[in-house]
Amino acid sequence: MQGNVACAEGALAAGCTFFAGYPITPSTEVAEHMAAKLPKRKGCFIQMEDEIASMAAIIGAAWTGVRAMTATSGPGFSLMMENIGYAVMSETPCVLINVQRGGPSTGQPTMAAQGDMMQVRFGSHGDFSIIALAPSTVQECFELTAKAFNLADQFRCPVFLMADEVIGHMRERITIPDSVQIVRPKPLQEGMLPFAPEDDLIPGFAAFGTGRKIPVTGLTHNEKGYPDSTNPARHESLVRRLVDKIETVRHSIADYEIVNEEAEYVFVCYGSPVRTVQEVVQRAKTPGTGYLHLRMIWPFPEQLLSRFPNVKAFIVPELNLGMISREVERHVCVPVISAGKIGGELHAPDELVAIVEQLRSGGCP
């Protein structure tokens, strides 16, 4: 099965019944698969006039209580930024798949990249936090998309599956379980205000049409949902809560794999470069190497970096000129080697082995 199709199947398994999208390479197969499947399940597929509208439509749909998703790539992702901020501010659960391609601008529509890793975290204006996952196999396309819906509902925020063209168009054999775990948002309790947080900083959710008369706005608002945009204390408490509800649990929700904690040279990787790293560390058994494979990039679980007591350097191979490498760098006191690569091809194992050998011989790659 193709990675993009696996994303769609993961969404369907998770009970997604609403998809709004706009065609864009290399993500289009997600939309095409949803267009074929959703009408047969009494769901709704709608092709919108652009990505701004797609993002808007899934937010509107999510407020009726359905699981809603869109899929896009770089240029469309840029168009979605404002409404992503709206989903954050209005605490709307929704899932976005970004099958990353080379940018900036139209760039390389058919080539892989991971150039949107900072945009997903910081692209919309203002302070906020989101959750972003990255698949490195077709199996993970399925599993992480399904998981994204649970996280979106649990934390009431947009959750992103940051795939790339290689994973999206790769075909692998996968195992689809009979059912996947489904965690829906906790309900808005009787007598609770619609934006009043519980102990976990997250308010309960009530869908439109259930009698709770919820006023939703992108303006800074009070716990009733009423605009209150010139009160500094209100803004600070609201925005800090929106950030803290995600950041305070970043270590407990971290999704990762660690191989060889004793390593001196540790790769930090996510998405398709994980495959090259596995080749270098596990199959080629390059001496002294290990890796941290992050399936969840944001919120960034920096404590995992301290799990390597012998580390001499972290190496971050990613399909950009160094994005997550900077995030690693600000948390550690050893050298961080950014092995960024752009152009659309994955790193060859030899390229990464050469970096390790250069480090071991005292050089600086």
Under rule CB under 8 A, residue 53 binds another protein: yes
Give CA–CA dist 39/18, Å, rounded.
Answer: 10
> Omega before 232 cis (within 30°)?
no
Phi, psi of 337 (to 5 degrees): -95, 115
Single out the segment in contact with another protein by CB under 8 A; choices: 61-69, 134-142, 149-157, 159-167: 61-69
Among 1, 35, 48, 249, indicate the residue that binds another protein (CB under 8 A). 48
Give CA–CA dist 165/143, Å, rounded.
Answer: 18
Size of the site for another protein (CB under 8 A): 40
Contact (Cβ atoms closer than 8 angstroms) between residue 319 and residue 301: no
Under rule CB under 8 A, residue 217 binds another protein: yes
Under rule CB under 8 A, residue 66 binds another protein: yes
Among 18, 195, 300, 314, indicate the residue that binds another protein (CB under 8 A). 18
Under rule CB under 8 A, residue 130 binds another protein: no
Residues 172-211 that bind another protein (CB under 8 A): 208-211
Under rule CB under 8 A, residue 11 binds another protein: no
Burial of 364 (0-12, 13-18, 19+ CB in 10 A): exposed
Under rule CB under 8 A, residue 304 binds another protein: no
Give CA–CA dist 119/121, Å, rounded.
Answer: 5
Give CA–CA dist 239/224, Å, rounded.
Answer: 16
Under rule CB under 8 A, residue 41 binds another protein: no
CA-wise closest residue to 27 among 144, 137, 146, 169: 169
Under rule CB under 8 A, residue 215 binds another protein: yes
**In the complex with another protein, which residue's Cβ is closer, 65 or 365?**
65
Residues that bind another protein (CB under 8 A): 17-18, 20, 44, 46, 48-50, 52-54, 56-66, 68, 82-83, 86, 208-219, 226-227
